[in-house]
């Protein structure tokens, strides 16, 4: 290896001398390269990458990957060689803000304004799809390693090349390994967006090719909060292996739901997440035995004449950036390397010649073998697989790169039996009621605020979210059980509610609905993004001692956490009912709701009553958040769907009616559970919209409201 | 104007005609500037694409204002028409059989996309415009989420969550001029509409729907017609966007942010005015491009704060301050609560 470097450096030196005559120094720094002091010219490459937005982290990794190649090619390698002359490489970057429109626009700019010779890909399939269409239309080559959806390569493009393994082959080597170990049945769950769908369809193909029967395939929408309905359905089918996922956060949902429901298949393969150490921090031992595909790991036994072996590359990368490379970075470096090699083979930067060189490329690299098929996809590099073993990420496939044995069945796996029809009905009812209990707790505060002061609290879900973060934080830092945080969260959130009311709500209470709606909506946006800045958008989970399941009869189980949430919900609803009916303050609240002017005349301090009502309601809402923190994922954007559910339940069941909230929540819980269990494949998607359909139908059919609350519903316009 | 309760004083009328002349001159000047812009040096395709996106936002805001500003029906799901237009266009253009390619050409596909959006808007409007205030708003938000989910699960037709790819055709100047002409036409149409009996009747619905009804105005037909037109027009821009984007999936065709931007732009410019949505959206767009790009993760926080400031302290918007005909939120308040202050007075805390 060292000889190669020495030779290359020497030749670069000679060429540099030849090119610049008097210059005695070899090209050493990019600055020098940029000024062209030692090079015959510059090859300009463009890339749009996410520095901000949801792909900011992966975007930064990709950029470091590209820059690793850039530093290496200019400083170590001595520039790209074309026709015996050395050319410096330059990469022009723009921030695409994780937005597809922006990425496409920036590629246009790179081509027309920066006149780049070639393009490197952005991060993610969704951004690459649009960006590559622009590249294709302008006949500019784009090599990429971080957008792997199959659909991109079914468009017949001639200028798009992928060094990474394509999405449909993500699970191939893992499934082959599992089949060899005796897996016979499988279930698949996937987010129905481009990349996860491609992975899932590929998984189905590989499963069937290996003689594994696919018992069920379920989709779920982006931004799903709760995977328990899917997992219940799967548990009743008793499969050997579970294949699921789409994005990092889904891994949290699946592992969570599986644990909560006592679903423990022999093998769990989760598409994205297990290769990321962050996930082990979050899920701890619950992640043990979980498998995940990986594009590349530094321990893999790959080697090539450039960068050396995978671990040599990792060492070089770490020297530059002070952290080990993730596979996104390695894919980025490999993309640039593939382009570099093709340009050298072609001996020109002409697009047609370089394209032919890319098609003809056969290289062994630190990243694995690279050669492209007619679609532009690297089919020679197999996907690897990792398994979390005792809290460590170990490569278990493919055979030549493996460092540990695949553990199958995984530790803690327990096969149940297939559920009978009656058992499924019973389970559905239990799940529905448990869900109803959660919704009751979630809706009470919203309903009372609307009923008493006529304010639609559009930031309701965000107060839930803050309660959830409070409990998670207490759990994460001091190990306090979320159920024990209830009193404290209630008090703190009461203060938050009181402050919000005094500061903001009080000023909009007499203004049109649009005003309070928009102000609270703005509060929601602010809270979401403040939490995102503070805690990042990663899904979190709190741990409670009240977890697991009670086996009731046969395959029917009761999820323990949800049972206790239901108990708390009933207690809060009962207490609130009594408080409103009996206590002096409760009577004042009801009076103020029914006729504010009359209440004022009777000497009730309406402003105070409003502030206290708001405080109590936000307190309850915060408690709801604290209690769902072990069940639903804790994340900055969990609020809006909860707000809309609260709205739907309240508008149907009566504004400010405790009994209505309970009834409405139970109906919605049962409908959602029923849809999720009995509608095959798309049940979870339908459950997501059930509340809106119910709401719109209820309002249109009966605009005066279904039930009587503190305030009449009265939705008719004329 | 004779039908509205607040007859303006003569000086106010003179001020207004002067203001109107000023606005007309400013818009003609702006239009000429925008028309010659692509010929200027340094304005490349990328800049034109940015401007085209801005024009799209302006159009959506103008359409939103037709129902939200003029009739007072605040549509929280307006982006659904954009998505329907985009998807219809994408479906028609990417139609395939096993044999020959039978995808439609872009112009008829985009127009049919707009028509589908308009017809669906009429149907949904017919059902939901019986609801008032926040109920209407949330029903439309529900419609938006439901339609997105329907598109997602109808994989055979829509490509499901994976989406559809369109044949790439990238002629930025063409789209720029097309959308510039459409937006100019749309704004002129709104301006004209405002002065017709129809437009006056729309405002009458906002001010006092029951009163308008008793005076023989068929409010249902009027508001559904204007709602349907807004759906049609937004659908048209959705189709144009899909063609330029060369790719649709449920999460980029149906985006809440499109509605939020329309609401924010219109509020900033002036709810219920002709110029408001244009001024506000353009201001918001450049604010975001120039300033908020540097705030990175904080820009949404800034946007939230700005929204509160607008709503609390600038309820009539930028244009509304100088044009007394704009909807003050007080008028909406009166509509929803049946009590309140005169609509031509700036709002005060009660």
Looking at per-residue confidence, does B301 or A485 come out higher?
A485
- Cα-only R_g, chain A: 29
- Looking at the structure, do residues A497 and A557 belong to the same domain, yes or no? yes
Selection from A562, A691, A565 nearest residue A624 by Cα = A565
pLDDT at A515: 81
- Cα-only R_g, chain B: 20
Per the structure, the count of domains in chain A is 3
What tens digit of pLDDT does each residue of B28-39 get? 888 888 888 877
| Banded model confidence at residue A698, pLDDT cuts 50, 70, 90 | confident
pLDDT at B297: 65
Angle at A320 between CA A315 and CA A326, to 5 degrees: 60
Selection from B187, B186, B229, B226 nearest residue B204 by Cα = B226
Do B315 and A197 lie within an 8 Å CB cutoff? Answer: no
Do A686 and B301 lie within an 8 Å CB cutoff? Answer: no
- Looking at the structure, do residues A284 and A160 belong to the same domain, yes or no? no
Do B131 and A191 lie within an 8 Å CB cutoff? Answer: no
Domain boundaries, position A182: 169-294+384-401
- Could you tell me if residue A461 is inside a domain? yes
Give B-chain residues touching A519 at CB under 8 angstroms: 307-308, 311-312
Chain A touched by B268 (CB under 8 Å) = no
Helices (H), A327-420: 327-346, 351-360
Give B-chain residues touching A511 at CB under 8 angstroms: 329, 333, 347
Please report which helix (H) or strand (E) contains residue A34, including its range. helix A30-35
- Looking at the structure, do residues A474 and A501 belong to the same domain, yes or no? yes
CATH code, domain with A271: 3.40.50.2300
What tens digit of pLDDT does each residue of B289-300 get? 776 666 666 777
What tens digit of pLDDT does each residue of A69-98 get? 999 999 999 999 998 899 999 999 998 888
C-beta of residue A248 within 8 angstroms of C-beta of residue A217: no
User: Please, which residues 302-321 of chain B have a Cβ atom closer than 8 Å to chain A?
Assistant: 303-305, 307-308, 311-312, 315
Rounded to whole angstroms, how far apart are CA atoms A110 and A119? 8
Residue A129, pLDDT above cutoff 70: yes
- Could you tell me if residue B196 is inside a domain? yes
Rounded to whole angstroms, how far apart are CA atoms A459 and A651? 17
Phi, psi (degrees; rounded to nearest 5) at A362: -140, 105
Do B149 and A221 lie within an 8 Å CB cutoff? Answer: yes
- Could you tell me if residue B258 is inside a domain? yes
- Looking at the structure, do residues A580 and A680 belong to the same domain, yes or no? yes
Rounded to whole angstroms, how far apart are CA atoms A595 and A592? 5
Nearest CA in chain B to A689: B146
- Looking at the structure, do residues A267 and A363 belong to the same domain, yes or no? no
Highest mean pLDDT among A45-59, A87-101, A323-337, A633-647: A323-337
Please report which helix (H) or strand (E) contains residue A41, including its range. strand A41-49
Domain boundaries, position B74: 10-337
User: Please, which residues 41-100 of chain B have a Cβ atom closer than 8 Å to chain A?
Assistant: 44-46, 49-50, 53, 74
- Looking at the structure, do residues A277 and A321 belong to the same domain, yes or no? no
C-beta of residue A423 within 8 angstroms of C-beta of residue A555: yes
Do B145 and A523 lie within an 8 Å CB cutoff? Answer: no
| Banded model confidence at residue A313, pLDDT cuts 50, 70, 90 | very high
Give B-chain residues touching A219 at CB under 8 angstroms: 153, 160-161
Give A-chain residues touching B53 at CB under 8 angstroms: 101, 105
Do A518 and B163 lie within an 8 Å CB cutoff? Answer: no
- Looking at the structure, do residues A155 and A223 belong to the same domain, yes or no? no
pLDDT at B229: 96
- Could you tell me if residue A449 is inside a domain? yes
Over range A348-370, report the average pLDDT: 94
Residue B333, pLDDT above cutoff 80: no
Selection from B95, B154, B155, B162 nearest residue A150 by Cα = B162
- Looking at the structure, do residues A161 and A181 belong to the same domain, yes or no? no
- Could you tell me if residue A580 is inside a domain? yes
Q: Within 13 Å and on the Cβ side, how many CA atoms surround A135?
A: 33
- Looking at the structure, do residues A500 and A635 belong to the same domain, yes or no? yes
Looking at per-residue confidence, does A191 or B4 come out higher?
A191
- Looking at the structure, do residues A62 and A110 belong to the same domain, yes or no? yes
Give the least confident one: A313-317, A591-595, B141-145.
A591-595
- Looking at the structure, do residues A220 and A342 belong to the same domain, yes or no? no
Looking at per-residue confidence, does A262 or B6 come out higher?
A262
Phi, psi (degrees; rounded to nearest 5) at A393: -90, 115
What tens digit of pLDDT does each residue of B224-277 get? 999 999 999 999 999 999 988 888 888 889 988 899 889 889 988 888 888 889
Rounded to whole angstroms, how far apart are CA atoms A86 and A97? 34
- Looking at the structure, do residues A531 and A476 belong to the same domain, yes or no? yes
C-beta of residue A34 within 8 angstroms of C-beta of residue A79: no
Whose tokens are 């977890």? That residue is: A547
CATH code, domain with B135: 1.10.3470
Rounded to whole angstroms, how far apart are CA atoms A17 and B117? 67
- Could you tell me if residue A706 is inside a domain? no
Closest CB to A717 among B129, B246, B332: B129
Per the structure, the count of domains in chain B is 1
Selection from B53, B91, B70 nearest residue B237 by Cα = B53
- Could you tell me if residue B76 is inside a domain? yes
CATH code, domain with A476: 1.10.3470
């Amino acid at each position: 290896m060292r000889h190669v470097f020495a030779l290359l450096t020497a030749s670069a030196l000679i060429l540099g001398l030849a090119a610049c005559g008097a210059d005695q120094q070899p090209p050493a720094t990019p600055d020098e390269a940029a000024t062209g002091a030692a090079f015959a010219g510059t090859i300009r490459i463009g890339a749009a990458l996410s520095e901000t937005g949801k792909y900011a982290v992966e975007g930064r990794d990709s950029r470091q990957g590209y820059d690793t190649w850039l530093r290496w090619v200019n400083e170590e390698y001595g520039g790209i060689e074309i026709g015996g002359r050395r050319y410096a490489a330059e990469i022009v970057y723009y921030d695409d803000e994780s937005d597809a429109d922006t990425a496409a626009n920036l590629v246009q700019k790179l081509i027309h304004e920066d006149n780049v010779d070639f393009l490197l890909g952005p991060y993610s399939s969704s951004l690459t799809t649009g960006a590559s269409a622009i590249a294709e239309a302008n006949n500019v080559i784009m090599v990429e390693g971080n957008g792997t959806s199959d659909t991109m390569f079914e468009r017949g493009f001639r200028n798009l090349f992928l060094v990474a393994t394509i999405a449909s082959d993500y699970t191939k080597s893992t499934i082959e390994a599992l089949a060899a170990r005796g897996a016979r049945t499988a279930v698949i769950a996937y987010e129905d967006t481009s990349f996860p769908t491609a992975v899932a369809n590929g998984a189905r193909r590989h499963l069937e090719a290996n003689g594994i029967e696919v018992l069920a395939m379920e989709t779920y929408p982006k931004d799903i909060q709760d995977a328990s309905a899917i997992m219940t359905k799967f548990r009743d089918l008793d499969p050997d292996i579970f294949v699921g996922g789409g994005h990092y956060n889904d891994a949290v949902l699946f592992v969570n739901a599986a644990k909560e429901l006592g679903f423990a298949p022999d093998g769990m393969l989760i598409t994205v997440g297990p290769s990321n150490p962050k996930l082990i921090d979050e899920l701890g031992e619950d992640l043990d035995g979980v498998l995940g595909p990986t594009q590349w790991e530094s321990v893999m036994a790959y080697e090539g004449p450039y960068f050396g072996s995978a671990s040599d590359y990792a060492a070089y990368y770490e020297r530059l950036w002070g952290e080990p490379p993730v596979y996104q970075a390695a894919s980025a470096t490999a993309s640039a390397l593939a382009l570099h090699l093709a340009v050298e083979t072609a001996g020109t930067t002409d697009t047609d010649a370089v394209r032919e060189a890319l098609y003809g490329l056969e290289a062994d690299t630190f990243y694995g073998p690279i050669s492209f098929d007619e679609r532009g996809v690297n089919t020679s590099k197999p996907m690897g697989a990792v398994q979390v073993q005792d809290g460590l990420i170990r490569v278990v496939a493919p055979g030549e790169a493996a460092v540990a044995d695949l553990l199958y069945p995984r530790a803690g796996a327990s096969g149940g039996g297939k559920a009978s029809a009656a058992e499924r009905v019973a389970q559905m009812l239990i799940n529905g009621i448990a869900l109803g209990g959660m919704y009751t707790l979630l809706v009470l505060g919203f309903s009372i605020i609307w009923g008493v002061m006529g304010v639609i609290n559009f930031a309701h879900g965000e107060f839930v979210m803050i309660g959830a973060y409070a409990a998670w934080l207490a759990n994460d830092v001091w190990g306090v059980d979320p159920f024990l945080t209830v009193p404290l969260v209630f008090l703190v959130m009461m203060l938050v509610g009181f402050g919000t009311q005094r500061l903001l709500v009080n000023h909009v209470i007499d203004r049109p609905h649009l005003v309070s709606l928009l102000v609270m909506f703005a509060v929601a946006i602010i809270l979401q993004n403040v939490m995102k800045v503070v805690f990042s958008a990663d899904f979190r989970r709190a741990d409670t001692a009240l977890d697991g399941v009670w086996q009731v009869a046969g395959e029917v189980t009761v999820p323990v956490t949800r049972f206790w949430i239901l108990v708390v919900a009933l207690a809060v609803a009962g207490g609130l009912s009594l408080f409103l009916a009996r206590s002096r303050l409760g009577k004042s609240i009801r009076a103020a709701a029914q006729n504010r002017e009359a209440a004022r005349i009777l000497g009730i301090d309406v402003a105070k009553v409003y502030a206290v009502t708001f405080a109590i309601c936000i307190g309850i809402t915060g408690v709801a958040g604290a209690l769902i923190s072990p069940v639903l994922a804790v994340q900055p954007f969990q609020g809006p769907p909860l707000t809309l559910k609260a709205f739907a339940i309240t508008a149907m069941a009566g504004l400010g009616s405790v009994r209505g909230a309970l009834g409405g929540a139970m109906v919605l819980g049962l409908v959602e559970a029923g849809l999720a269990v009995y509608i095959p494949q798309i049940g979870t998607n339908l459950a997501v919209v059930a509340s809106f359909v119910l709401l719109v139908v209820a309002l249109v059919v009966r605009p005066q409201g279904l039930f009587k609350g503190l305030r009449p519903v009265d939705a008719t316009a004329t | 104007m004779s039908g509205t309760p607040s007859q303006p004083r003569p000086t106010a009328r003179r001020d207004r005609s002067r203001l109107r002349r000023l606005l007309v001159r400013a818009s003609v000047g702006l239009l000429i500037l925008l028309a010659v812009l692509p010929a200027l040096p340094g304005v490349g395709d990328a800049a034109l694409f940015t401007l085209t996106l801005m024009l799209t936002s302006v159009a959506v805001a103008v359409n939103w204002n037709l129902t939200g500003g003029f009739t007072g029906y605040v549509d929280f799901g307006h982006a659904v028409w954009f998505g329907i237009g985009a998807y219809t266009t994408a479906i028609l253009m990417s139609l395939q059989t096993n044999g020959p390619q039978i995808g439609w050409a872009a112009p008829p596909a985009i127009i049919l996309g707009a028509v589908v959006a308009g017809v669906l808007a009429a149907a949904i409007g017919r059902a939901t415009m019986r609801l008032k205030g926040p109920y209407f708003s949330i029903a439309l938000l529900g419609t938006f989420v439901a339609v997105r989910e329907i598109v997602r699960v109808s994989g055979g037709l829509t490509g499901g969550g994976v989406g559809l790819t369109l044949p790439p055709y990238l002629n930025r100047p063409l789209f720029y001029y097309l959308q510039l002409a459409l937006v100019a036409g749309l704004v002129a149409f709104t301006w004209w509409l405002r002065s017709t009996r129809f437009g006056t009747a729309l405002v009458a619905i906002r001010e006092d729907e029951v009163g308008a009804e008793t005076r023989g105005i068929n409010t249902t037909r009027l508001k559904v017609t204007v709602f349907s037109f807004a759906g049609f027009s937004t659908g048209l821009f959705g189709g144009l966007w899909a063609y330029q984007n060369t790719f649709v999936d449920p999460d980029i065709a149906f985006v809440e942010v499109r509605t939020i931007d329309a609401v924010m732009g219109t509020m900033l410019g002036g709810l219920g005015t002709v110029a408001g949505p244009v001024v506000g959206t353009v201001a918001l767009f450049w604010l975001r491009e120039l300033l908020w790009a540097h705030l990175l993760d904080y820009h949404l926080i800034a946007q939230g704060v700005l929204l509160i400031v607008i709503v609390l302290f600038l309820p009539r918007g930028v244009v509304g301050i100088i044009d007394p005909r704009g909807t003050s939120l007080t008028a909406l308040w009166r509509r929803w609560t049946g009590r309140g202050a005169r609509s031509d007075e700036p709002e005060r805390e009660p």
